[in-house]
């Protein structure tokens, strides 16, 4: 997994988050009101979303129940990932 960081906390990429939900690109984009082409560019690393956007999407996925705490705990435990 590829991780980005926000204030020392490791976070997953948008593509990894979407894959956890099992949603298609179209449904994921619609869920967060993100233009589909923007999501596609983020997923192929043509552009990178701001870290706060990834963080907020992750929190919303947790709130909506798409990402369960047991799957997400390692992402938000505040510890750096060992290589």
Could you read off the pLDDT of 10-62 as tens digits, one per residue?
568 999 999 988 999 999 999 999 999 999 999 998 999 998 899 899 889 88
Cα–Cα distance between 61 and 46 in angstroms, integer?
A: 24
CATH architecture of 3-75: Orthogonal Bundle (1.10)
What does the alpha-carbon distance between residue 10 and residue 37 come to, in Å, rounded to a whole number?
26
pTM for this entry: 0.68
E strand intervals along the chain = 3-6, 9-12
Where in the chain are the domains?
A: 3-75
- pLDDT of 12 reads 83
* The residue to which tokens 């290589």 are assigned: 83
In contact, 54 and 11? CB cutoff 8 Å: yes
For residue 45, give the nearest of 67, 14, 12 by alpha carbon.
Answer: 14
């Amino acid at each position: 997994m590829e991780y980005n960081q926000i204030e020392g906390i490791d976070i997953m990429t948008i593509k990894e988050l979407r894959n956890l939900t099992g949603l298609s690109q179209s449904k994921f984009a619609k869920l967060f009101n993100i233009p589909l082409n923007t999501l596609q560019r983020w997923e192929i690393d043509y552009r990178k979303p701001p870290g706060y956007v990834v963080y907020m999407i992750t929190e919303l996925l947790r709130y909506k129940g798409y990402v369960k705490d047991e799957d997400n705990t390692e992402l938000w435990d505040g510890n750096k990932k060992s290589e």
